[in-house]
Each structure stands twice: as structure tokens, then as C-alpha cells.
Amino acid sequence: MSKKVLVWISWWVDSAVAAHLLMEEGYEVYWWFMVNYKAPEGEHCTTKEDLEEAKKVSEHLGLKDFFIFDFVDEYEEKVLNYMYEWYKNWITPNPDIMCNKEVKFKVFLEAALEAWFDYIATWHYARKSEVWDKFSLLKWVDNNKDQTYFLSWLSQYQLAHSLFPIWHLEKPEVRKIALDIDLPNASRKDSQWICFVWKVKMKDFLEKKIPNKIWDIVDTSGKKVWEHSWVFYYTIWQRRGIWVWWFEEPIFVIWKNIEKNELIIWTQKDLDLYSDSLEMNWLTFFWKELDFPLKAMAKIRYRQEDQECEVKLISDDRASVKFTNKQRAISSGQICAIYLWEELILSWVII
């Protein structure tokens, strides 16, 4: 008897190709669409049009019955509230990682297994391997698109019941398959938005929950140089969006002082924007036993090239990382993922 798989079909071409490949492998494939956000009146939301696109794709592929899951409440509790709280505390969160851990591969996975499916499948760009009933997460064949960083908080249980059907294909090959089988969305461009909250600017989204007020922009001597009304949105060392008309050089956020109502900035030539070490907590280990100190490779942001480092345990849930080369703009709240060759071995939150 063939295994039953519930495939997440979105408006993007990758999910449709994933479903097609699973059907070719002999799986009994059903599809699902997740509703995680309902925009308030007056705000543009594409959920309905995305669902119609997904229906066209499923009809074209001849998929079996579809399921619509309403996880609006769970998404607000697990992801949106996490975003609001971290931004209010001046820490830049990573909603995509939290969504994967708490919604796609937890709430939804549990619903799928209760409905007697063997696996869920997504279009994530990652590879999964199994050795002695233990699962490893490996980088995708196309390093430019590899998404293991966003899956770095998954557990053994979550990996055991998940499939990543496009693991062996580079992006141009995915597009070619979509064109070869005449998918309705074969030429649709990729998009990057808040996870499940399409086409909404982060600043506009956060303003609904975090009160807006005027902040002073000051230099490192404490001199006021400008004013700003949206300090929570900015990350330490951020450059984009920071502008004071009389500064000829690019300026960076170096601190946010909530007690004094100040956003502190200065120019690159007067700052050391680089550091060779960091500390992290909330460790997430994959299955392998590791000997510390550990020579490995690290990423402190998505699509960053691997960086040589040494990892030392401080306690059971805290570690330090020393880089061979200094890293620019290490930001609290972001994730540091540690790799041995192509394998993700652990990750944690930068503090």
C-alpha cells in the first residue's frame, strides 16, 4: 500500500513541482492550503487569490481531495506575538524559523498525522538523510537557495514525518520541470514576505500592535541630529533606511536607548562594525554526539557564506563561538546555525 502524503500547495512553482515528483514516485498525494492570517478591512490580503491559484495547480496535476486548515489563532499566538514582543524589546526576531518550528512542522504536522497521513511535504530547499533511525538535515544542492538555516529548529520527530521532494534539483531544473508539464504557475516569480502574511510591509504590519512615537536620533557624543518615529523596526548595525541629510557617509544604528528615548547612530569610518565572537542560548542539537571545543562552520544570517569558527559549550543551553575572521553586524535575536561540511548539527539564538 502506497504512503499517503499531504503536500502544501502554494502559489509558487516549487510546491507544485514537489507534488508532481511525489506522484511520480508512487505516493498517494493530497494537497493542503493553510490560512494563517486574515487581513483587517482595508488591508490588501491575497489569501483568496492564492487559494484559487493553488486550486488551478492541483486540478492540473490531478491531485486528490484538498484540505484547508485554519490556523489563524495558532499563528497569531506562536509567531505574530513572538514578533511583536521581540521587536518591542529591541530584538530582531526571525518569524520564518518560528513559523516552521511551531506551525508548519508542529500544529499542521499533528493535524496531518491525526488524519492518518504518513508524511507532510513542503517545497523547502533542503535534504534529509537517515542513518540508524536518526535524521540529519543537509544543505540543498543549490547553495544560493539552501534553506536549512530556516529549518534549524526542527526536531527528530518533525524530520521523521517530513519530505522535501525537490532536494536533488537546482532552481533552474525546478523551473524546467514546471514548464515541461505546463503548470499554470510555471513562470510565477518567487516572492519574499512575512511568513504567511503576503505583501505587507513589516513596518506597516508592526505599527498595528506597537505604539508609534517620536525618538531622538543622536550621535555617539549624545548630540541630537534628527528625529525618528519608528525605532523598534531597526536592528543594531542596520544601515538601510537610516538617513540624516547632512551626513555624507552611510550611517548605522549602533544602539537603542529606551530609557532616554534615543536611537544612536554613527558613520562606518568611526565604528568597529565587526566582531570575532558571540554567545548564544536556547541550543537546538541534532542527533549526533559532539566533542567540544568543536571546529566547524557557521552562518549568522540566511545566504551568508560559511564562516570558520570554534564552538565551546558554556553550559547545557549556552555556547560561545569564536570566528577565524571577524563578522559584520552580529545581531541579537537572530539564529546562528553550525555545520560540519553539508550537515546542520546545531543552532541557537544569538544573545
Hey, which residues are catalytic here?
99, 195
- List residues bridging with 138 in a β-sheet: 127, 343
Nearest-10 Cα torsion for 87, 270, 303, 95: 0
Do 4 and 118 meet the contact criterion of CB atoms below 8 Å apart?
yes
Classified as helix, coil or strand, 131 is: strand
Q: Which residues fall within 8 angstroms of residue 244, CB to CB, at 6 or more apart?
A: 217, 225, 226, 251, 265
DSSP string over 310-332: EEEEEETTEEEEEEEEEEE---T
The answer to whether the bond into 211 is cis (omega within 30° of 0) is no
Of 152, 167, 102, nearest to 345 by C-alpha is 152
Instruction: Give Cα 46 to chain centroid, integer Å.
Output: 20
Write down the residue that cell numbers 524530520 correspond to.
159
Do 271 and 261 meet the contact criterion of CB atoms below 8 Å apart?
no
Q: Where are the beta strands (DSSP E) in 203-273?
A: 215-218, 224-228, 251-257, 262-267
Do 263 and 215 meet the contact criterion of CB atoms below 8 Å apart?
yes
Count of Cβ atoms closer than 10 Å to residue 349 Cβ = 19
Of 237, 238, 227, nearest to 202 by C-alpha is 238
